[in-house]
Each structure stands twice: as C-alpha cells, then as structure tokens.
Amino acid sequence: MSDAFTTRVQHVPTGSRERVVDLTRDCEAFLGEVAAGRDGLLNLFVPHATAGIAIIETGAGSDDDLLAALHTLLPADDRWQHRHGSPGHGRDHVLPAIVPPHATLPVLGGRLELGTWQSVCLVDTNRDNTERKVRMTFLAGGQS
C-alpha cells in the first residue's frame, strides 16, 4: 500500500447507552503515526446502519444537547416501521440521515485543521450494540 493512502479500523466501546464519543485524540494519534507532517485529508467512516460522525463541541454540554435534540427529532417510541431490537430501535436506523456515517477533514502539516471548540465524535444511539468500528483513512496530498 502506498504511504499516500493509509487506513486503519479503530474499535470503539460504546456500552449499552446512547453516547457521543470524542474521537479527536484517536484521530490525532493516527495522524501522528501516518501523516509525517504532510497535508491531506482524513476520512472517517462508520460501517454501521445506526451510528454517525459529528463535528461538535464536547465537554460543555453540547454532546448531551445533541442527544436531547435527537430524542426530540427521533423519539424512541413505537412509531417506527423498523421494529426489531430495543423499543424505538427504528429511530436508530434513521439517525445516519441526520448524523452522517462519514466525515472528511483537512490535515495541514500532519495535524487536524479543526476550529478551537470542534471535536470529532462518534454518535451512537443504538443501545443494542456495545462496540463500534470507525475506519480512519489518511490520503496525503500530491506533491507540488
């Protein structure tokens, strides 16, 4: 595999409750190993039908606010056609239409180019799955 394209799967324990998991340090560690000070793009992809990737502030309540907003938009009740799993699980299958299962972020000088309060987060409302996979892929920019 070319060093211009490097990919790895990160296993993320999410437990049996709804979670917003900050992946920023994991992304930075991955880039520290593979980017070698180069510019490029970091792509994250969650290969699950019931989880997504969000770029939000964490630690000041925004992660809990996001879960509360998702409860308002996607109540865990019996309105959903998709009915297997925990009660209201059908909403988990609608989540990726609102919180997409992917994000592509700029990397400059081997570092994520995030705003001051931005974090890269896994959003998982599915209480039935206790572990998620996140594929991190670094694509180095071409030489000029």
Q: Following DSSP, what letter does each residue of 67-90 receive, concatenated?
A: HHHHHHHS-SSTT-S---SSTTTH
As a whole number of angstroms, the distance between CA 124 and CA 130 comes to 10
In this prediction, residue 86 carries a pLDDT of 82
Q: Express the helix, strand and coil content of the chain in percent, nearest 5 each.
A: 20, 35, 45
Residue 64, SS3?
A: helix
- Per domain, the residue ranges of the chain are 5-140
In this prediction, residue 71 carries a pLDDT of 93
pLDDT in tens, 68-94: 999 999 998 888 888 788 888 889 999
Neighbours of 139 (CB within 10 A): 17
In this prediction, residue 2 carries a pLDDT of 65
As a whole number of angstroms, the distance between CA 130 and CA 18 comes to 10
pTM of the model: 0.92
Q: Would you give the end-to-end CA distance of the chain in angstroms?
A: 22
Judge: domain 5-140, CATH 3.90.226.10: no
In this prediction, residue 143 carries a pLDDT of 58
Q: Within the chain, which residues score under 70 in pLDDT?
A: 1-2, 143-144
In this prediction, residue 72 carries a pLDDT of 95
Torsion, CA 86, CA 90, CA 93, CA 99, rounded to 10? -90
